[in-house]
Structure 1
Amino acid sequence: MADEQHDGARISFGLFQREQRSLFGEILDWMLTPLLLLWPLSLALTWFVAQGIATKPFDRALEFNLQALTQFVVATDKKVSFNLTPQARDLLRADDSDLVYYQVLDARGQLISGEGDFPLPDDPETPEPGRVLLRDDMVRGDEVRVAYAWLARGTDGKQLVLMQVGETKGKRSTLATEIIKGVMVPQFVILPLAVLLVWLALVRGIRPLNELEQKIRARKPDDLSPIEESFIPQEVAPLVSSINDLLTRLKTSLTTQKRFLADAAHQLKTPLAGLRMQAELAQRETDPQEIRGSLKQIARSSSRATHTVNQLLALARAETTGRALPTAQIDLAKLVTDVVRDSVPRALEHGIDLGYEGPEDMPEICLMDGNPTLLQEMVRNLVDNAINYSGQGGIVTVRVLFDRFSGVQILQVEDNGPGIPENERALVLQPFYRALGTNVDGSGLGLAIVHEIAQQHGAVVMMEDTHAEGPRRGLRVAIRFAARRPADE
């Protein structure tokens, strides 16, 4: 079967696989293949039906002839005779297209009249007298339709006579052929017309998809607006809705990335400009003390730039790849104690009293699914923020609380620093935002990283004052997790 082309799509009628599937071709195959397969079956059924239709009227005529001839079978006590009148003989020879054979036998099988080579019926038992039966047989090499009956003759009705009349099937075959021609000829016209109408209907039905393709192809690369759904067929609406959802998420992601790149460039300008300025000053200075001071400023600016870059990389990893990283069962208490232990040297360097309150290991019921790398980054940022803002002689306390029955666990990091005003707590969760009135170097990314990682783990970030009164209210940041519960709990 030949392939056809429609709008650049490869279409085949039938049973060959394509490298790229065509919706038009698939529908056309499933509609036309059954039609083409059923057509020969329809012709075969028509032939059988035509045979039955052509047989019935001629069978009735044959039965009538048999019953007419039985009137000429006469039986006496001594013998059975068949007295065929000239008019009856003409009845047997009235048809020019078919031959008619007859035979009359007595109960002993002796021929009374007719053809001696007429085949006998193969009935296992003698049928009821007077009942006309039909069968197909061969007489002198010709296929014939035979009507036969056993007749009861004699005064006592006990003399049985077999009467058979056979007719060749010329008229029957001619009528069956005419019926088949009458059915087949219209089908030869209707079938190609049906194929054409199906093809045209599919072309019209699939046109909205072609229009949708053209609209999408004509879009500019930066056009991420949703596709209009008013002209979309109902069957394609879920697909278009999914594409619109993807476009919305892609637009949000690109907007976030653009904002992130702009903020990152802005944040890196300051330390890099400071590095350049200090380097130029050091080149012009001749006093060793001034050169040493410039080098200290260069070291400080490079440290700040390095910290900013590390924070930017951590935020980018949390925003873009956090969901794709592998997860494992996390013991929050063990993870937090490891981070606190690693932060002790830095706390001692700043004169900070860093402590941990909570269990060494979590119960198995409170283990949760998460990414250990991101969770360590989250805890480390909380601890670093607390150390940076507590100042010399400050106190930083890290706690892990859990409820064995509800499976909820909470991470708390509190300090006695200046705290964050309540009206700014939602803002500090955004990248590069820093609360006013702080003299601590930073990039404004720590709590943004914490918020992003917490969201990816289904946790909630809460902030409150450590102390209700005083100039140093402090800050307590709480991360509330819902632990994965076992199936039988």
Structure 2
Amino acid sequence: MNLSRWSAVQARLGLAPGRRSLHRHLMWWLLMPQLVLWIAAAFVTYSVAARYANLAIDRSLYQSSRALAQQVKPIDNGLLIDLPKAAQAILETDPDDRVYYMVSTPPGQFILGNNTLPPPPPIPNLELDRPYFYDGLVDGVPVRVAALYLAYGDQSSPQHMLVQLAKSRASREELARQILIDTVLPLSGLILLMSLIVWGGIRAGLAPLARLQAVVEDRAPNDLAPIELEAAPQEVRALAQAVNSLLAQVQESVSTQRRFISNAAHQLRTPLAGLKSQVELALAEAQDPALRTQLQRVHESATRAAHLVGQLLVLARAEPESAAALGRRRFDLDRLVREVTAEQVPRALQAGVDLGVEDRDAQPLPVLGNPLLIRELLLNLIDNAVRYAGRGASVTVLTRAVHGQAEVVVEDDGPGLPAEAGPDAHQRVFERFVRASQDGHGCGLGLAIVKEIVERHAGHVHLEPVQPHGLRAVVRLPMATD
């Protein structure tokens, strides 16, 4: 088998490097020797059984041939055959395990029996009164033949008599087969039991790896806490320690980046606020239309930059370390939604948007989280809806309990996401600095902040289109239990 063919076999069995299962690999190398040993044991058992069956049949044939020779008695220069019909019937009675006999005087003078028995092979040093055994065919039936050469006559004219007794090999093969079955069946049971023990041992040995996999899979993408596997074997602990070392390096790098963004945003807030104030004063005093246009553009840029800095600060607070430092408490989400919506009504009126909360039976929606972060979440959702719905649109906010979760829905009847944004735009807009539309003055961080805060609270957020036009943002947070 060449190398490429062996590689194909390995790939088919799942043993190719890079794609093989460790469990399957260990099972393969532990069970394959057992299978080879089982086949070898079966072959050796059958060979030994056949040899001992041959010995038993040869001994029986020898005894029978001696008994038959005793029935042929030399007298003077002839032979007296004393073989009753009953004895002949006994020799030839079993059709499945027939016994054939022949008495002759070499070289080929037939005296008694079946003259179709095959002659014995050439014997270099012939010994009288010693049995010779060989295999042959009688009427197409394989037989085992015993040949016995005897001397008769006087010393002046010695002669030889050949007594042949043959028996079909059916009894020998049946005996060997029965011995093989009686041996292989218990051996197969032991092999099966050993395979189950090996399988259980491999599963128990690889269980720490499965636990490590479960620990890693259950983590959030930004959870860089160390992995704890103190009860695992040394090899798995070494792997976990290597992963922990890598996680620590990544956490240090991410923390450094976050601190830089937070510090830079803090440092930028004051000069940007001062720049906006100076531009507003200049706008109030400027009389030249061209100068006012340029100052208006500077003011819009400063406003946009201040908005970006504010969102960067919110995003920094939404990170795991900052969110954990802010703490959590139980509060009523429905009441917070109504407060935030009421605060945004003046801005919505200024933008020509009808903003309101859907009337329903007021029911508290207790959640466990950080009210400041949830407030930022709601502000970003409402701000996005007001900003992109367009003048004359309506924005409706509602809250409800759905299957043990608190749900907040912000729905507008604006244009929705543009078709050129692509079919996956509803998912991509939650990425940082991704904007589905170039309208407005956003920077692509609002929905990224929403997603970050929702994930910090073990919730879920998604966007869905509204027919015939519009967009709906749905946020689900776990309700607090008593």
Shorter-chain TM band: 0.3 to 0.5
Q: TM-score, normalised by structure 1?
A: 0.44
Structure (1 or 2) with the larger CA radius of gyration = 1
